[in-house]
Structure 1
Amino acid sequence: MSANREIELKATIRPEQLDKVKDLAAIRKRAVGRARSRKLVTVYYDTPDYDLRQQGLSLRVRKIGRAYVQCVKQTHKRLGGIPVRMEWEGPVPSQDPAVSVIEDKKLRRLIRRAGTARLQPVFRTDFQRNSRSLKFEDGSTASLDLDIGEIIAGDVSEPICEFELELHSGAPERLFELASEIRQAVPFRLAAMSKASRGYALLTQDELKPQKYVKLSLTKDDTVEQVLTELVQHSLDHLQMNETVTLATDDPEGVRQMRIALRRLRASLRLFKSTLPKDQYGWIAAEAKWLMTELSAARAWDVFADEFLAPVAQLYGGDQGFDALMAAVEQARQQSRRRAREALGTERYTEFLLRLSAWLSSQAWRDQPVTERTTRLLDPIGDHCVKLLQKRDRNVRRQGRDIANLSETALHELRLAVKRLRYAVDFFESLYPKKQAKAYRKHLAGLQDGLGYLNDVAAADTLLRELALTGRDQAAPVWAHAGGLTVGWHRHAAIAAKDRLVKDMAAFLRAKPFWRGA
């Protein structure tokens, strides 16, 4: 059973568009040989407790004609938004899995540890596949597979209608470039989940849950280029992992996590801005800002409804027009969610993901003149992270010294400076003693929470004015008094919050940065 690295781009599409894809000029000019059509029936195996899934493995046996092929996949990493999996594939005599034929000892041991005798069919896929072999101008080779059928888990099923571009040799960016050409003629949505992942979700009926950002572990010997790639890739993964939650549920955490991913993406790029070509930095920053704007209203109304209005309405019960205010806010909230979902369904969003992924996989920033500035990309990150942290720490200390007398605008600027420092700390703290970094980060968290609350209080008036303008007449809305009570309550609470913030800033100014002497 041979091992291969699988690099695959997957997209969902409407059934009536499948035939259009295979007939596109972008496909025909790269096609090699004749198209093939096959019916594929695949059974996935796991233990009753899904031990293989928990280890990041999938085990399947696929029937192709009269033959059976066993395949084990293990997710290795992501490359420009594409999951890169190690794949072990080989013939077996029947539909039953044969662990003994797996040549990789470590993999064989993992499966046996889960319990070979406990392996059982958990779900299956049944679909028709139309395939074309492709060859690109630079010699890279790939395949296009068009799949239509279903995933079946017990008594429930889910349709499959997608295309896959799989790289066989050469440059991964060719997949993104071809996908971009396809998108110009046929709309599609990039799919973050494999058939195996969808099968498990169907089987377990797991509730869609937002995914929080997981910090990376870096080393001081990692180059600036490696760190840039890891940080941007990690942010892109985080963004896409929360896309389905935002599209399919009303959980406000989905939008929040997508916005966090975008902020971390922008913060990553800003750290290394001086080493990047201006045009490349410019279009990524502009597209990330556009998407952030499209998601902002949903996040603003979520905060207002859950953190501002709800506690005050509870104090006043159903009196003072709170029922009318809550109804109006919920309507605005739903409208802002529709706006967010519509943005994720646009061609612009898909193109942003494709171009950013191609930029990462091709390391396009290398296409620039070699200067003292650009050669920093090859330096160890340990040579630069202190300067990057010091610069942001210095900005916060400078802007925050007179925090008690700052205007709302100045407080907003300070909040942004604190966020930039917080993200830089999150990125680099693995390079330093954990205890020292934790204490410093705790100071930042307090500042960020306090400044965030004051910013939300300042924004509450604007939200209520926008809400009033949606009314049909010029008269004051019936919820006007309730709105005034809500904002007034929080403006009063903001006085105490500002006092705490002054103390938190004083403590931060006394704190020693954890990177000194490291």
Structure 2
Amino acid sequence: MADAHREVERKYESSDSGLPDLTGTAGIAAVLDKGLVELDATYYDTRDQRLTAASLTLRRRTGGADAGWHLKFPVAPGVRDEIQAPLSDTVPDDIAALVRSRVRGAELIPVVRLRSARDVRHLVDADGTLLAEASVDAVRADRLTGAGGTAQWTEIEVELADGGDPAFLDQLEKRLRKAGVRPSASASKLARALAETSEDRRTTGRRKEPKDKASKPPATAGDHVLRYLRAQRDALVALDPAVRRDVPDSVHRMRVATRRARGTLRTFRAVLDRTVTDSVAAELKWLAGELGVDRDQEVLADRLTSALDALPPHLVHGPVHDRLAAWARARHHSTHGHVTAVLDSRRYLTLLDTLDALLTDPPLRRAAARKPQKVLDKAVREDVARLAGLVERAIARPPGEERDLALHEARKKAKRTRYAAEAATPALGDPADALARAAKALTTLLGDHQDGVMARRTLRELAAVAHAAGESTFTYGMLYGGQEARAAAAEADLPAAWEGIRSGAYG
């Protein structure tokens, strides 16, 4: 995988005076002249600018210390994660994979060329430690698509040194503002280049204002359901590169978005025609299952490692730590490779296209045009009724494998109830919000129980391997007993957790 770097920077409009004297500001002891650097960057996007629409930038740049391919993801205002790869004639495979959820089958083409003469300064403290790099960039932009077009401007860019305190940039900005330097109106050079070289800009002399992407407030039942479903589609697309990069918790969040989307299609069948959406829900179920291979292993490894770390040293017999760590590494490597293959599959990309098409031309039923209160309330109540039957049947079963399976089914239904309540909360208000919170508490409890079931199964397998290797299995037995007790406690707490739902507005 390409190298990653967290970039924290701010851009400013430059006046004729350039960079003001910053010595003595925010601990700056000296401003070191590092000379002039010529940079030549070509930015790539699809013809309909899908990367730009998502505030992503992909470029091939020569010149400077970091020549190569750069892909930048927005994190927060002024903060981006930059993925770097060595120079090559075509987009590197690792980089292309990170934008696949947005690009799909479209071609990445050169859209803008930026040539910058960068006058670089290093801002250092009294010990010579780099605090930030400041530069004055004289930029020429050439549009490479459509009728073309050019633009020129000068800007100041300040990038925080690795590990630096962002508060330093706040202090520096005060000094710049006093000197008459103002923050740039554009978030990036590419954004400004696209605006300055647009045909609208060249024919009217004004920069084209971006369209307001904010949707109208939802008014109908269909509006509310589609808004929630659209948010899950957006989350899937946005989390795809994080999952590929193995960012912590990204698989879990992507799996949740998948389940939320599927739950929405299944719960609100009065709004969306199930003859169209059932096949989409089936594909979402498939994706959630594939993501679960990695997520379940991650949760299990964390659970067992924490339990082992909590044992007193005299209860740890044999190389249990090493065996557990080796098991976790091997399983994670295998499962992450599997998940990446799924995200590269035609089936997954087709699912994303299908979700796009469904949201563009939704199969709305008559109830979709009605006011949301009655339609959504009825759907949520039906989910709660189904959950009630599962929970009560599970509680009635004696402890054992059948009860474990029944509780697992109740957990899945509790998740769907939670997601339904979340989707309905903007229309139904506090009662739906309270249900969502109560269902989340129930789901957490049942999830802990199910994790304990899986942990005990894994401990039996690890103990068998250890026994075959001639190692003590005492510690595995201790861990097993602890997981058993934890599951029993979850079962004991279940009636109270269920009461939180049963006694509410939807009970």
Distance 1:387 1:61 in 2: 61
- 2:165 corresponds to which residue? none
Listed one character per residue, the Cα deviations across residues 58-102 of structure 1 (whole Å, up to 9, x for unaligned) are: xx997345x9xxxxxxxxxxxxxxxxxxxxxx98774469xxxxx
Moved more, 415-424 or 332-341: 332-341
Q: Is the 8 A contact 1:429 1:437 kept in 2?
A: yes
Identity %: 21
Equivalent of residue 261 in structure 2, options 261, 265, 272: 265
Aligned residue identity for 1:458: V
Distance 1:37 1:312 in 2: 54
**Match of 1:401, SS?**
helix
Distance 1:218 1:466 in 2: 55
Matched, 1:508 2:504: no
Alignment of 1:111-510 (within 5 A): 117-119=181-183, 222-251=219-248, 253-278=249-274, 280-317=276-313, 318-323=316-321, 324-361=323-360, 363-365=361-363, 374-401=365-392, 403-406=394-397, 407-434=403-430, 436-464=431-459, 475=468, 478=471, 481-510=474-503
Q: Is the 8 A contact 1:325 1:482 kept in 2?
A: no
Structure 2 residue runs without a partner (length 5+):
1-46, 60-68, 70-87, 92-108, 119-136, 144-148, 157-175, 195-213, 398-402
- The alpha-carbon deviation at position 491 of structure 1 amounts to 0.8
Considering only aligned residues, what root-mean-square deviation do their CA atoms show, in Å?
4.5
**Match of 2:308, SS?**
helix
Listed one character per residue, the Cα deviations across residues 437-480 of structure 1 (whole Å, up to 9, x for unaligned) are: 554444323211111111112222444567689x7x99368475
Q: Is the 8 A contact 2:320 2:475 kept in 1?
A: yes
TM-score with structure 2 setting the length: 0.57
Listed one character per residue, the Cα deviations across residues 300-343 of structure 1 (whole Å, up to 9, x for unaligned) are: 11111112332234314453442222322332123212222222
Equivalent of residue 63 in structure 1, options 140, 145, 156: 140
Q: Is the 8 A contact 1:332 1:467 kept in 2?
A: no
Q: Is the 8 A contact 1:304 1:460 kept in 2?
A: yes
Q: Is the 8 A contact 1:239 1:258 kept in 2?
A: yes
Q: Is the 8 A contact 2:307 2:479 kept in 1?
A: no
**Match of 1:424, SS?**
helix
- The alpha-carbon deviation at position 421 of structure 1 amounts to 1.2
Distance 2:49 2:484 in 1: 52
Distance 2:504 2:301 in 1: 36
Distance 1:479 1:278 in 2: 55
Q: Is the 8 A contact 2:224 2:423 kept in 1?
A: no
Aligned CA distance change for structure 1 residues 376 and 336 (closer, same or farther; 3 Å): same
Higher relative contact order structure (alpha carbons within 8 Å, sequence separation ≥ 6): 1
Aligned residue identity for 1:245: A
Aligned CA distance change for structure 1 residues 405 and 246 (closer, same or farther; 3 Å): same
Distance 1:245 1:457 in 2: 28
- The alpha-carbon deviation at position 386 of structure 1 amounts to 1.2
Distance 1:397 1:217 in 2: 36
Distance 1:375 1:262 in 2: 26
Distance 1:93 1:64 in 2: 6
Aligned residue identity for 1:452: G
Distance 1:425 1:477 in 2: 53
Listed one character per residue, the Cα deviations across residues 416-441 of structure 1 (whole Å, up to 9, x for unaligned) are: 2211111111111223443x555444
Q: Is the 8 A contact 1:313 1:322 kept in 2?
A: no
- The alpha-carbon deviation at position 239 of structure 1 amounts to 1.8
Aligned residue identity for 2:424: F
Q: How many residues align?
A: 343
Distance 1:400 1:438 in 2: 21
TM-score with structure 1 setting the length: 0.55
**Match of 2:347, SS?**
helix
Moved more, 384-393 or 338-347: 338-347
- Of structures 1 and 2, the larger Rg is shown by 2
**Match of 1:497, SS?**
helix
- The alpha-carbon deviation at position 490 of structure 1 amounts to 0.8
Structure 1 residue runs without a partner (length 5+):
1-5, 19-34, 45-59, 68-89, 98-113, 130-215, 367-373
Listed one character per residue, the Cα deviations across residues 222-280 of structure 1 (whole Å, up to 9, x for unaligned) are: 223322321221001112222222221351x1111011111101011112335545553
- 2:49 corresponds to which residue? 8
Aligned residue identity for 2:251: V
